[in-house]
Amino acid sequence: MKRIAILGSTGSIGSSTLKVIRRHPDRFKAVALAANSNIDELLLQVKEFSPESVCVIDEKAAARFALRIKNKGIKLYPGKQGLKELISCTGIDRMVLAITGSSALEPLLTAIERKIDVALANKEALVMAGSIIMGKARRHNVRILPIDSEQSAIWQCLAKEDKRALKRIYLTASGGPFRKTSRSLFKKIELKQVLKHPRWNMGRKITVDSATLMNKGFELLEAMALFDLSSDKVSILIHPEAICHSMVEFNDGVVMAQLSATDMRIPIQYALTFPDRLESGFSGIDFCALKSLNFEKPDFKKFPCLGLSLKAARMLGTMPAVLNAANEIAVNEFLAGNLRFFLIPDIVRTVMNRHKNIINPSLAQILAADAWAKQQTAAVIGKL
What are the tens digits of pLDDT across the range 347-376? Answer: 999 999 999 999 999 999 999 999 999 999
Residue 177 phi, psi dihedral angles, 5° rounding: -75, -10
Position 38 scores a pLDDT of 96
Residue 32 clears pLDDT 80, i.e. is over it: yes
Lowest-confidence segment of 67-76, 91-100, 185-194, 307-316 by average pLDDT: 67-76
Residue 326 clears pLDDT 80, i.e. is over it: yes
- What is the CB neighbour count within 10 angstroms for residue 64? 12
Position 100 scores a pLDDT of 87
pLDDT class of 159 with cuts at 50, 70, 90: confident
CA distance readout (Å), 99 to 21, 104, 257, 380: 18, 6, 28, 27
Which CATH fold would you assign to the domain 2-146? Rossmann fold (3.40.50)
Position 4 scores a pLDDT of 97
Lowest-confidence segment of 59-68, 127-136, 286-295, 332-341 by average pLDDT: 286-295
Return the C-alpha torsion angle 47, 50, 56, 61, nearest 10: 30
Contact 268, 13 (CB under 8 A): yes
Contact 339, 208 (CB under 8 A): no
Output 376 or 263, whichever has higher pLDDT. Answer: 376
Averaged confidence pLDDT in the chain: 94
Position 24 scores a pLDDT of 95
| Share above pLDDT 70 across residues of the chain, in percent, rounded to a whole number | 100
3 state SS of 230: coil
pTM to 2 decimal places = 0.92
Position 203 scores a pLDDT of 81
| Share above pLDDT 90 across residues of the chain, in percent, rounded to a whole number | 87
Contact 237, 295 (CB under 8 A): yes
Q: What is the DSSP letter of 274?
A: T
> What average pLDDT does this structure show over 79-94?
92
* Calpha distance 343→376 (Å, rounded): 15
> What average pLDDT does this structure show over 294-321?
97
Domain-by-domain residue ranges, the chain? Answer: 2-146, 151-265+272-316, 317-384
Equal fold, 2-146 vs 317-384: no
pLDDT class of 312 with cuts at 50, 70, 90: very high
3 state SS of 173: strand
Distance of CA 284 to the CA centre of its chain: 25
Characterise 51 by phi-psi region: left (phi > 0), alpha (psi -120 to 50), beta (else). Answer: beta
Contact 172, 244 (CB under 8 A): yes
* pLDDT tens by residue, 182-237: 999 999 999 999 998 877 777 899 899 999 999 999 999 999 999 999 999 999 99
* Calpha distance 271→16 (Å, rounded): 13
Position 104 scores a pLDDT of 93
Nearest to 100 by CA among 15, 16, 196, 205: 205
Give 86's contacts (C-beta < 8 A, 6+ positions apart): 5, 32, 34, 53, 54, 55, 77
Residue 86 phi, psi dihedral angles, 5° rounding: -60, -45
Lowest-confidence segment of 10-14, 202-206, 234-238, 340-344 by average pLDDT: 202-206
Question: CATH 3.10.20.520: does it fit domain 317-384?
Answer: no
